[in-house]
Amino acid sequence: MTEIVVRWSEPLPALDRYLELLDELERGRYDAYRLEIDQRRFLTGRMLAKTLVAERLGRPVESVRLDATCEDCGKPHGRPRVPDSDLVLSISHSGNLIGLAVAEGVPVGLDVETANRNADASLVDYALSPAEREAVAGLSDEARSAAFFIYWTRKEAVMKATGKGLKIPLRSITFSRYDAPAELVSSSDEALDPARTRLADLKAADGHRAAVAALTAEPLSVTEEHWLP
């Protein structure tokens, strides 16, 4: 059994007790955001990561350091990693919800999206495989949009787990129906093997859709919690 903890939070205020936990590179990224809400989302993601890692490792949160070096360009904007640890992290945010997924020893990916957006025909054609498009055909506009973002969060979650992101064509992967338990049915990309990919739709919060994925053959045990700092 692969255990995943998903912790959610609304954007934190920019209080000194949070800001002082950012290291020099993180503070540089924080300051580079032009919009306050983007600063708060970044800060919240780091606080979720550092507090949960501190709990898992039994260390003071002040001692937790994350390495976000991008594997492609070497700049500090990549997926945060925990040096000298098997913990694997994935951070996602949308609207006023920020989430962190943590697993041990397996690649994990988290995605959350606001659920009040529309999905027009061009977006459906761009993102969904033929089988998925057939599943949403005939639905009302509202129902089609709801179904689309179930598929979208599943796709984003598994692509984040691979570390390849949108380098994997969205239409190359097919999931179980939007109204069935999440399962990767087929993939024409070698980075994703249905036999070694597990995922789950999440409750998240009202007005949001979310999914988490792990590259493992084991079943998932997912715990969702909302953080109260």
Q: Which two tokens stand for residue 95?
A: 């609207």
> Cα separation of 73 and 3, whole Å?
31
110: CB partners within 8 A, 6+ apart: 6, 90, 91, 92, 99, 100, 101, 157, 160, 210, 211, 212
Q: Are 7 and 37 in contact (CB under 8 A)?
A: no
Task: Give the start-to-end residue ranges of the domains of the chain.
Answer: 2-226
Query: At CB < 8 A and 24+ separation, what contacts does 203-208 make?
Result: 204/8, 204/97, 204/99, 204/112, 205/8, 205/97, 207/95, 207/114, 207/115, 207/116, 208/94, 208/95, 208/97, 208/112, 208/113, 208/114, 208/115
Placement of tokens 């503070």 in the chain: 27
CA distances from 160 to 12, 166, 200, 214 (A): 24, 9, 14, 9
pLDDT of residue 189: 86
pLDDT of residue 165: 74
pLDDT of residue 120: 80
pLDDT of residue 68: 83
Residue type at position 121: A
State the pTM of this model.
0.94
pLDDT of residue 75: 74
Q: What is the 3-state secondary structure (H, E, C) of 116-182?
A: CCCCCHHHHHHHCCHHHHHHHCCCCHHHHHHHHHHHHHHHHHHHHHHCCHHHCCHHHEEECCCCCCC
**Averaged in consecutive runs of 10 residues, what is the pLDDT profile of the chain (229 residues)?**
97 96 94 96 97 95 89 75 94 96 97 87 92 94 93 96 85 96 94 95 94 97 93
Topology classification of domain 2-226:
Ribosomal Protein L22; Chain A (3.90.470)
